[in-house]
Amino acid sequence: MEVKLSELKPGDKAEILSVKALGEIRRRLLDLGVTKGLKIKLIRKAPLGDPIEISFRGCYLTLRVEEAESINVVKIGEVGDGKPMGNQKKIKHCKIGEHDGK
Protein backbone atom coordinates (compact mmCIF):
# COMPACT_ATOMS: atom_id res chain seq x y z
CA MET A 1 0.00 0.00 0.00
CA GLU A 2 1.31 3.39 -0.94
CA VAL A 3 1.88 5.63 2.03
CA LYS A 4 3.85 8.77 2.78
CA LEU A 5 7.28 8.44 4.33
CA SER A 6 6.00 10.61 7.17
CA GLU A 7 3.42 7.97 8.05
CA LEU A 8 5.94 5.23 8.81
CA LYS A 9 6.66 4.15 12.37
CA PRO A 10 10.10 3.57 13.86
CA GLY A 11 11.36 0.18 12.69
CA ASP A 12 9.31 0.18 9.49
CA LYS A 13 11.10 -0.66 6.27
CA ALA A 14 9.95 0.72 2.97
CA GLU A 15 10.83 1.25 -0.64
CA ILE A 16 10.64 4.69 -2.18
CA LEU A 17 8.16 5.07 -5.02
CA SER A 18 8.47 8.73 -5.85
CA VAL A 19 9.90 11.99 -4.59
CA LYS A 20 7.37 14.75 -5.07
CA ALA A 21 9.33 17.56 -3.43
CA LEU A 22 10.38 20.51 -5.55
CA GLY A 23 13.30 22.88 -5.77
CA GLU A 24 16.11 22.79 -3.28
CA ILE A 25 14.61 20.03 -1.14
CA ARG A 26 14.21 17.74 -4.13
CA ARG A 27 17.74 18.39 -5.29
CA ARG A 28 19.13 17.84 -1.81
CA LEU A 29 17.32 14.53 -1.57
CA LEU A 30 18.55 13.45 -4.98
CA ASP A 31 22.13 14.47 -4.12
CA LEU A 32 22.01 12.35 -1.00
CA GLY A 33 20.77 9.40 -3.01
CA VAL A 34 17.10 9.41 -2.04
CA THR A 35 15.50 8.29 -5.31
CA LYS A 36 12.91 5.88 -6.59
CA GLY A 37 13.65 2.27 -5.66
CA LEU A 38 15.74 3.08 -2.60
CA LYS A 39 15.00 0.92 0.40
CA ILE A 40 15.00 2.72 3.67
CA LYS A 41 14.29 2.07 7.29
CA LEU A 42 12.71 4.55 9.64
CA ILE A 43 15.09 4.61 12.60
CA ARG A 44 13.43 7.03 14.96
CA LYS A 45 11.55 10.21 15.43
CA ALA A 46 13.05 13.14 17.31
CA PRO A 47 11.93 13.53 20.95
CA LEU A 48 9.30 16.06 19.90
CA GLY A 49 8.08 13.88 17.01
CA ASP A 50 9.72 15.89 14.24
CA PRO A 51 12.13 15.55 12.39
CA ILE A 52 12.60 11.88 11.57
CA GLU A 53 15.71 9.79 10.96
CA ILE A 54 15.99 7.22 8.20
CA SER A 55 18.80 4.91 7.22
CA PHE A 56 19.87 3.35 3.95
CA ARG A 57 23.11 1.76 2.77
CA GLY A 58 24.75 2.37 6.12
CA CYS A 59 24.06 6.10 6.19
CA TYR A 60 21.71 8.09 8.37
CA LEU A 61 19.64 10.97 7.18
CA THR A 62 17.23 13.31 8.93
CA LEU A 63 14.39 15.21 7.39
CA ARG A 64 11.37 17.07 8.63
CA VAL A 65 7.93 15.54 8.61
CA GLU A 66 6.75 18.16 6.13
CA GLU A 67 9.58 17.11 3.81
CA ALA A 68 8.84 13.43 4.34
CA GLU A 69 5.25 14.06 3.33
CA SER A 70 6.43 14.63 -0.21
CA ILE A 71 7.97 11.17 -0.46
CA ASN A 72 5.74 8.24 -1.33
CA VAL A 73 6.82 4.78 -0.22
CA VAL A 74 5.54 1.26 0.00
CA LYS A 75 6.14 -0.74 3.13
CA ILE A 76 8.22 -3.89 2.83
CA GLY A 77 7.74 -7.02 4.83
CA GLU A 78 4.05 -6.47 5.17
CA VAL A 79 1.56 -9.02 3.94
CA GLY A 80 0.11 -7.74 0.72
CA ASP A 81 2.71 -5.16 -0.13
CA GLY A 82 2.13 -6.24 -3.69
CA LYS A 83 5.76 -7.07 -4.37
CA PRO A 84 6.84 -10.53 -5.32
CA MET A 85 9.64 -11.68 -3.08
CA GLY A 86 13.09 -11.12 -4.49
CA ASN A 87 11.99 -8.55 -7.01
CA GLN A 88 14.51 -5.93 -6.00
CA LYS A 89 15.92 -5.06 -9.35
CA LYS A 90 17.41 -1.67 -8.67
CA ILE A 91 18.95 -2.18 -5.30
CA LYS A 92 19.68 -5.84 -5.36
CA HIS A 93 23.14 -5.48 -3.88
CA CYS A 94 22.08 -3.67 -0.78
CA LYS A 95 20.20 -4.72 2.26
CA ILE A 96 18.76 -2.44 4.83
CA GLY A 97 21.09 -1.33 7.55
CA GLU A 98 24.25 -2.73 6.04
CA HIS A 99 26.55 -2.28 3.13
CA ASP A 100 26.36 -4.54 0.15
CA GLY A 101 28.05 -7.63 1.42
CA LYS A 102 29.27 -10.66 -0.42
Partner 1 sequence: MASNVITVALAGNPNSGKTSLFNELVGANQKVGNWSGVTIEKSEGTVNHNGFTLKFVDLPGTYSLTAYSPEEVIARNYLIEERPDVVVNVVDGTNLERNLALTVQLMALEVNMVVALNMHDEVVRQGTKIDIELLERLLGSHVVPTSAVKKTGLNNLFDHIIRVYSGLIVSAKDKLSFSERIEEKIAELEQLLKTESGLDKYSTRWLAIKLLENDKHVYSEVKEYPVWLRIGKILQDTYDDFEQKGYDDPELVIVEDINAFIRGAVQETVIYKVRESKTLTDWIDTFLINRFLGLPFFFVIMWLVFQFAFRLGEAPMGWIELGFKYLAIGVGYVLPAGILHSVIVDGIISGVGGVVIFLPNIVLLFIALSFLEATGYMARAAFVVDKVMHFVGLHGKSFLPMITGFGCSIPAIMATRTLKNRGDRIVTMMIIPFMSCGAKLPVYVLLIGAFFAPEMAGNVLFGVYLFGVAIALVSAVLLKKTIYKGESEPFVMELPPYRMPTLKSIFFQAKIKAEMYLKKAGTIILLASVLIWVASSFPHSQAIKQNFQEQKVQVVKSNYVDSEKQSLVAELGLMEASAQLEYSIAGRAGKLLEPIIRPLGFDWRIGIALVTGLAAKEVVVSTLSTIYSLGETQDGITDLRAALQQDPNFTKATALSLMVFVLLYIPCVAAMAVFRQEAGSWKIVGIYSVYALSVAWLASFVVYRVGLLLL
Site of interaction with partner 1 (CB under 8 A): 23-25, 27-36, 43-51, 53, 57-64, 67, 93, 97-102
Nearer to partner 1, 80 or 101 (CB): 101
Compute the least distance from the CB of residue 25 to partner 1, in Å.
4
Nearer to partner 1, 7 or 53 (CB): 53
Compute the least distance from the CB of residue 80 to partner 1, in Å.
27
Pairing state between β 39-45 and 52-56: antiparallel
- β-pair partners for 75: 14
Nearer to partner 1, 76 or 97 (CB): 97
Cis status of the peptide bond prior to 10, with omega within 30 of 0: no
Q: Which residues of 61-74 are buried (b: 16+ CB within 10 A; e: fewer)?
A: bebebebbebbbbe
